[in-house]
Structure 1
Amino acid sequence: MTLHSDARAVLAGWTPPTPRDAELRDRFVAHLDAQPAGMTRECLPDHLTAGTIVLTPEADAVLLNHHRKAGGWFAFGGHCEPGDTTLAGVALREAHEESGLTDLDFDPEPLDLDEHAVEFCAPGTTVHHLDVRFLATAPRDGEHRVSEESLDVRWWPVDGLPDVYDDMRRLISDAVARLTR
């Protein structure tokens, strides 16, 4: 199975938790059906990406990175790379690379989807990341670090977040709800 076929199977088999996610899932599957290279950053103006939101097992804190290029606090994530074989594997690899954490309890079922414009991905072109986001937990005392892509990596109380986009607040809320149900 290729990364493309894995991503299509994961998305087509996923039961979205909201109508918003159902619309995005259908858009992502249609994108993959139309674009054999739809998983690669070379597929413009849209391509799939994958990410991971990391919470403590108690769901009381979230690990975020202050993204160097985007200039804000975000979950971990990014582009598919040669050698990636599964969509969940992309999200887990990005979480390891960007957080430095080695001890992640990773849930391979997508948490939610998001589509967002990224101005810095391909200069001169507005690129849309079709982002599939997963959930992982890690102990707060796990050793995290700042990567080349970040200015800072820090635990935040879920009730004391820094200035984040509304989408990040929704993602964190959805992750907390999944862990505490």
Structure 2
Amino acid sequence: MENTEINDNAALIVIDVQKGFEYEFWGRRNNPDAERNIATLIDAWQETGRPVVFVRHDSLHPGSPLEPGTGGNEFKDFVEERRGKGSGPEVLVRKTVNSAFYGEPDLDAWLKGAGVSQVVVVGIQTNMCNETTARMGGNLGYDVLFPLDAMHTFDLAGPFGWTQTAEELTRATAVSLHGGRFARVVTTEDVLEGASAR
């Protein structure tokens, strides 16, 4: 990968790293290293005073693993214990749809108010909320970085009896985002090197 420059005020957007995604409801997942890489990036952002956005999905569907007021709605422990620990700006965005740009408070307004033009998207799920947020971020004019090893997804059934594994979905998302120039698909190492080079 070519050199990845990370702005001094690039925002890390940590999407839906919630306990409900540990439930068997979702099926088989990929990338067991996702949580370790997410934690490493949060630490790097907080140590350098860069802005961090924590996004939580508050499902409107009764019985959902992500329903508000249930244990599944809570952030995973490694995320919750890091919230509020950085020296830079931080915000909690609550959403009920896929895109973090359709939540409360308004993410686009918060980022623009902080002078942010570059975002790094991590979290759960790769081909759902992460991809939707990345696409919308690209449409809104942000330079979007998408470290593929700092996220995961699950096997999924679709129409016509089609199914795709988590790995296939991840590859399709990466090709669509990168090839379509919505985002630059990178690795955690690329982002860390770019962040420390500034």
Judge same fold: TM > 0.5, yes or no: no
Normalised to the residue count of structure 2, the TM-score between the two structures is 0.24
Structure with the larger helix share: 2
Normalised to the residue count of structure 1, the TM-score between the two structures is 0.25
Structure with the larger strand share: 1
